[in-house]
Structure 1
Amino acid sequence: MAQHTLDTIKRMEEQFVDRIAENMRTYGVSTTVGRVLGIIYMNRKPMTLEALSDETGMSKTRMSQVVREMLSLNVAHKVFEKGVRKDLYDVEKDYYQTFISIFVANWQAVIAKNRAVGKRIQNEVRRFMEGEADNLSADEMEQLNHLLKETEQWLHYYKWLDDLVDFFESGDVFHHVPKPD
């Protein structure tokens, strides 16, 4: 292949990697994770931390952190290749599954955190109301009861979000919004 053709292909692949990186930011994931994801896609085969470090110019320590994040998001996985002694990492090739994995990981964390906050506030309000019942005015009781209702709605909302996450994670979403052929 002529050098011009190779350069053109490389430039187009870099544009593709840049788009993946930008998309990851939209999904609430660092562009660094997106770049590494795109680089492995374009490599078309698993890569070592060393190869990824060379490709990105990042230290192996930083690359290890990025790969761990990708593993926790379920968009990368360690693979075995006979005769290769270093760890190899590959990425999910199905764009739909990549989106679902990121969506699920991000929202599960948000849901868990906000449910805990809602329950903590609810318990705090109830304890306060029980301990101070004799000292509270009608307006103060009304405010506290309103806060309890708000936290109840808050918890219902996060239950709904949890159900939505399950809808994606189970693949049921594709029965309602099918993948194109």
Structure 2
Amino acid sequence: MNILEQDRIENINNLMISEFSKTLEMFALNKTEAQLFVTLFLNDEPMTLDDMKDVLGKSKTSMSNSVRTLLDYNLVERVFKKGARKDLYQAKKDLYQKFMKTYVKRWLEAIDRQIHSLKSIEDELKTMDSKHENIGHKIKEAIKFHQSLEEVFHQINRYDQ
């Protein structure tokens, strides 16, 4: 492969990382986490933190933090390679299912927190004068909205299993 072709391949690879990571950012990954996941996804071989920092031009600390987040979300895995002295990581297979499970789980957790918070506000309002009925009505609407979202995400979760 000549130098011009290598440059074109590297440019295509960089464009792929840039564009694909934009989609992943919609799943609440930050830019570095999304770029790192795409890099691991595109790479056929597991990578060390040093490999990652060299490819993305970021610090090793940034790569370590991003890998930790991706591990927490079950999107990457640590792999064993005989003779390797450093930890190696690779993107997990079943890309769609992994992202949907992670995304749905995070939404359900956030919705649950919001419903509990709104119900606490509603309980506080009940201890006050009845002249705040309009606020009470709005809180009920907000709770109903969140419960509807929760129902939709539970249906998505059942569908993906």
Give TM class, smaller chain: 0.7 to 0.9
Kindly indicate whether residue 146 of structure 2 is the aligned counterpart of residue 160 of structure 1.
Answer: no
For residues 64-83 of structure 1, the aligned pairs below 5 Å read 64-83=64-83
> Per-residue displacement from partner, 1:44-93 (whole Å, max 9, x unpaired)?
12111121112222111111111111122221121222221211111123
Q: 1:96 to 1:86 in 2, by over 3 A?
A: same
**Matched letter for residue 115 of structure 1:** I
Whose radius of gyration is greater, 1 or 2?
1
Distance 2:146 2:4 in 1: 59
CA displacement at 1:112 relative to structure 2:
3.0
For residues 9-88 of structure 1, the aligned pairs below 5 Å read 9-88=9-88
Q: 1:76 to 1:14 in 2, by over 3 A?
A: same
**Matched letter for residue 58 of structure 1:** K
> Per-residue displacement from partner, 1:88-144 (whole Å, max 9, x unpaired)?
111123331243144224313422321221232233234x1xxx5xxx35xx16446
Percent same amino acid at aligned positions? 28
CA RMSD of aligned residues (A): 2.5
**8 Å contact kept, 1:101–1:169:** yes
TM (norm. structure 1) is 0.74
Distance 1:82 1:70 in 2: 24
**8 Å contact kept, 1:76–1:91:** yes
Runs of 4+ in 1 over 4 A off after TM superposition: none
Q: 1:124 maps to what in 2? A: 124
* Aligned length in residues: 161
**Matched letter for residue 18 of structure 1:** S
Unaligned runs of 5+ in 1: 171-181
**8 Å contact kept, 2:40–2:91:** yes
Q: 1:149 maps to what in 2? A: 140
**8 Å contact kept, 2:45–2:90:** yes
**Matched letter for residue 157 of structure 2:** D
Distance 1:84 1:17 in 2: 26
